[in-house]
Structure 1
C-alpha cells in the first residue's frame, strides 16, 4: 500500500551507515549477548549483573538513585527487581526514615552470586577492551557517558 510518499533507497543506506542510534543499539545488543552468554553459568543476564552491581553499596540505596544510574524509569527498575527478589538475591524493604521510600538490599545469596560473576565480567571485559583495535577504551567510555547525559534534542 502506498500513500504517494517515497523515501529514496539512498536515505536507507545513509541511515544504515551513519545513524548513531542504530550503531549504538547494535553494539549494545552484541555486548549484551556476549555478557549474557558468559554470565549464564552463574544464573544472571548482563542486565541483572549490572543491577546487582548497582545495589552493592555500603548502605542500601533507594530506588531513585539506582534508576538514575542505570538510566531506567522507576517502573522498569521495579519490574527488573522482581525476578532477583523472587530468587532471593535482593530484598526490598521500606525505608525506616521515610516509609514512602524503598531500600534495595543485596542478600547474602545476592552478594555470593555477584562475587562469582565479577571474575567472569572482568575476563570478558578485558578481552573486549583488548579487541578494540585503534580505539582507546577510556575515550569510548567518555563519549558514551557524554551521550548518556544528553537529554535534550539539539
Structure 2
C-alpha cells in the first residue's frame, strides 16, 4: 500500500509536478532498496551497466538522461565500494565504466527488492496506469530533449 501522500496542490508548472512525483516515487524505491545499501539512482546505474556492458561515462550519462556531473556524484560511492571500476574503453583514448563481480552480486541482490518497489507503486497507482505513465514520460523526455535551448537572457 502506498503511503499517504502529502497535501499537494496540483501545480500549474509541469516541471514542479514531475519533480514532486519523482521525489515521492523515488522514496518508495529507496525504501525497498535500502537493505542493499543502494539508492534508486545507483541501482539504475548498475542495472544499465549490467544490460549494456562497459560504457563510456558520457554514453552512460546520455542513456540515463543525466548530466555528467550528476552521474559523477552517483559513481563515486559505487566505485569506492568496488561495485564498478573505471577502465580502458574501446580505444586507448577513452575510459569506460565496468560492472565488477561485486557490482553484479549487489545488482542481483537488489533486483527482487526493485521488483517489490515496482509492485508497490503499481498496486497503488494501477498496472495499466503505470504502463501508460511510463509511455507518456518517455514521450515527454523525447519532447523535452528535442526542444531547442533559448538564447541566454543575460550577458
Bin the TM-score by the shorter chain.
0.7 to 0.9
Return closer, same or farther for 1:58/1:47 CA change in 2, 3 Å cut-off: closer
The Cα shift of 1:132 comes to 1.2
Cα-Cα RMSD: 2.2
Equivalent of 2:140 in 140, 147, 151: 147
1:100 to 72, 79, 93: 93
8 A contact 1:16–1:22 mirrored in 2:
no
After TM superposition, where is structure 1 displaced by more than 4 Å over at least 4 residues in a row?
none
Using CA pairs under 8 Å that are at least 6 residues apart, name the structure with larger relative contact order, 1 or 2: 2
| Aligned partner of 1:74 among 68, 78, 84 | 68
Tell me the distance in 2 between the aligned counterparts of 1:54 and 1:147. 21
Q: Tell whether 2:22 aligns with 1:22.
A: no
1:18 CA displacement:
2.5
- Larger mean CA deviation between 115-124 and 74-83 belongs to 74-83
How many residues in Structure 1 have an aligned counterpart in Structure 2? 139
Gapped runs of 5+ residues in structure 2? 1-8, 150-155
Distance 1:59 1:26, change over 3 A: closer
TM-score by length of 1: 0.81
Gaps of 5+ in 1: 1-14
Q: Which moved more, 1:110-119 or 1:122-131?
A: 122-131
Report SS of the residue matched to 1:31. Answer: helix
> Scaled by the length of structure 2, what TM-score is found?
0.80
